[in-house]
Amino acid sequence: MGEDLKKRNIFKKFITVIIVVVFISTLLFGAQYFRKSIAKSYVKNGTLMYEETADGYIVRDEIVLEGQNFKNGMVQVVSDGKRASKGETVFRYLSANEEGISAELATLDMQINNEIEKNNINLYLSDITSIEKQIESTIDDMYNQNDLFAISENKNKLESYMVKKAEITGNESPSDSVLRTLTTQRNVLEQRLINESEIVKSPVAGVASYRVDGLESILSPNNFNNLSKKMLDELELKVGTIIPQNTEKGKIVNNFESYIATSLDSETAFGAKLGDKVTLRISNGDEINSEVFFIKDEDNSRIIVFKINQDIEKLLEYRKITLDIIWWKYTGLKVSNQAIVMEDDDKTYVYRIRNGKEEKVLVKVLRQNDTYSIIENYNDEELKNMNFSEKEIENRSKVFLYDEVINF
């Protein structure tokens, strides 16, 4: 009797253990199944980037132009921001008799044009025809313009074309005509104006600018070694301040390349190398391709100079700007970091679900931030270098856009 009771107790304990094991297994399986059934995401196209905001100091290759007779004022021959050829007159200083000579020229211009209209003079010369077309085009532009500066520029063009037309017409008129006499007087007066004023020409080709701020020799490509956070701070420049146009000097700026100097202390900045390709986003939203051109390490920061060859004319007005430095930017197959699994072989995988079946797929992680990863499939050559057999390569699975993957 005692023996039977003992057997029954053992049997009950055995059954209890089995029930507990089954119950725990069911819970674990159910939890795992439940987790897998809801923790899923899809492979999508996306972009990841890492960027930081910084103050940038514009460093240009620029030559300041200055003459002797600046006291009477100056006239821009090449407008601010326009290109000048080597040897071209950029601006001239006014002569002491500028006002009187200009008034005489204006009177002569009026007399010449009145003479042309009064006598209905119409010479069919190719130069005249070309100028008349330019006059018509300029007038059309003026009608379609709202910008005051553009209207003023077109007005100056129009006056210049009218003077050229009058000169050609006068020079082609008979030598004893009134028109010829007026044109000769005008030419003499214009030559006097030129002789009495100082002309400043461009020593090299580049963009003309009259925004001279006195920092041309300090923030120069020749002085990168002198850059420091302390030196830049001591310039006390305000971000976005527009450099006013100077009324006594001009300059020629290299419009093929320019530089932006920054002082940075981020981990990414300290990992930058010469020649690294970086994208810079300036305040107008333009994204500029650049490269790391110069690096100088300081105690707690790093001077990095970026070389650019875009938007140089747009930055002529500024010496200090705010910009976003996009250190890297990757576009491709984007998945949650929870879908990336690193296994014992130090390789990364995702678990894909297709037709209800779960499949482990080897993937390459290109870039990763705190939340997402950009991945791609390994190519055949890469897998060969990783010692995969030809059969393994041929039968491998790949991840594609809109695949469903498990998040762990």
Domain boundary among 328, 357, 375: 328
| pLDDT tens column, 316-333 | 999 999 999 999 999 999
Please check whether residues 192 and 237 belong to one and the same domain: no
Rounded Cα–Cα distance for residues 93 and 248 (Å): 8
97/208 Cα distance (integer angstroms): 27
pLDDT tens string, the chain, 408 residues long: the values are: 555 555 555 656 656 666 655 555 555 555 454 444 558 899 999 999 999 999 999 999 999 999 887 777 888 989 999 999 999 999 988 877 777 777 887 888 788 778 777 665 554 445 555 655 665 565 556 545 555 445 455 555 555 655 555 555 555 555 457 777 887 787 787 777 767 778 899 999 999 999 999 999 999 999 999 999 999 999 999 999 999 999 899 999 999 999 999 999 999 999 999 999 999 999 889 999 999 999 999 999 999 999 999 999 999 999 999 999 999 999 999 999 999 999 878 899 999 998 888 999 999 999 998 899 999 999 999 999 999 999 999 999 999 999 999 998
Task: Tell me how far apart the alpha carbons of residues 313 and 235 are, in angstroms, rounded to a whole number.
Answer: 23
Q: Is the domain of 225 the same as that of 324?
A: yes
Residues 246 and 167 in one domain: no
Give CA separation, 85 vs 59, 164, 194, 340, in Å. Answer: 22, 22, 20, 58
Q: Which of 174, 196, 218 is the last residue of a domain?
A: 196
pLDDT at 198: 84
Q: What is the pLDDT of residue 384?
A: 95
pLDDT at 172: 54
In a domain, 141, yes or no: yes
Same domain, yes or no: 180 and 212: no
Task: Give the domain extent around 315.
Answer: 52-63+208-328
Residues 6+ apart with CB under 8 A from 275: 291, 292
Q: Does 376 fall in a domain?
A: no
Tell me how many domains the chain contains: 2
pLDDT at 293: 98
CB atoms within 10 A of CB 288: 21
Q: Phi and psi dihedrals of 106, rounded to 5?
A: -65, -40
| Same domain membership, residue 153 and residue 222 | no
Give the domain-ending residue among 328, 357, 392.
328
Whether residue 324 lies inside any domain: the answer is: yes
List, in sequence order, every residue forming a beta bridge with 252; answer none if it has no partner.
Answer: 63, 208
R_g of the chain computed on alpha carbons: 38
Helix (H, G, I), strand (E, B) or coil at 127: helix
Backbone CA torsion sign across 34, 35, 36, 39: positive
Q: Could you give the CA distance from residue 350 to residue 341 in angstroms, rounded to a whole number?
A: 6
Q: Which two tokens stand for residue 284?
A: 């107008």
Query: The tokens of 260 are what?
Result: 């932006």
Residues 147 and 217 both lie in one domain: no
Same domain, 187 and 229: no
Same domain? For 179 and 284 the reply is no
Rounded to whole angstroms, how far apart are CA atoms 407 and 42? 10
| Residues 59 and 103 reside in one and the same domain | no
- The torsion angles phi and psi of 348, rounded to 5 degrees, stand at -105, 140
Kind and range of the H or E run holding 394 = helix 390-395
In a domain, 178, yes or no: yes
Domain-located, residue 366: no
Give the E-state strand segments of 202-301 in sequence order. Answer: 206-209, 250-253, 258-264, 277-281, 287-297
Question: Which pLDDT belongs to residue 34?
Answer: 47
Q: Is residue 130 part of a domain?
A: yes
Residue 218 and residue 191 in one domain: no
Q: Tell me the C-alpha distance between 35 and 288, whole Å.
A: 45
Residues 178 and 280 in one domain: no
Same domain, 192 and 293: no
Q: Please check whether residue 249 lies inside any domain of the structure.
A: yes
CA distances from 181 to 107, 116, 164, 189, 347 (A): 14, 13, 16, 12, 92
In a domain, 335, yes or no: no
Helix (H/G/I), strand (E/B), else coil: 149:
helix
CATH of the domain at 289: 2.40.30.170
Residue 244 near residue 209, CB atoms below 8 Å: no
Sheet strands (E) in 60-145 = 62-65, 74-76, 83-84, 89-93
Q: d(Cα 98, Cα 71) in Å, to the nearest integer?
A: 12
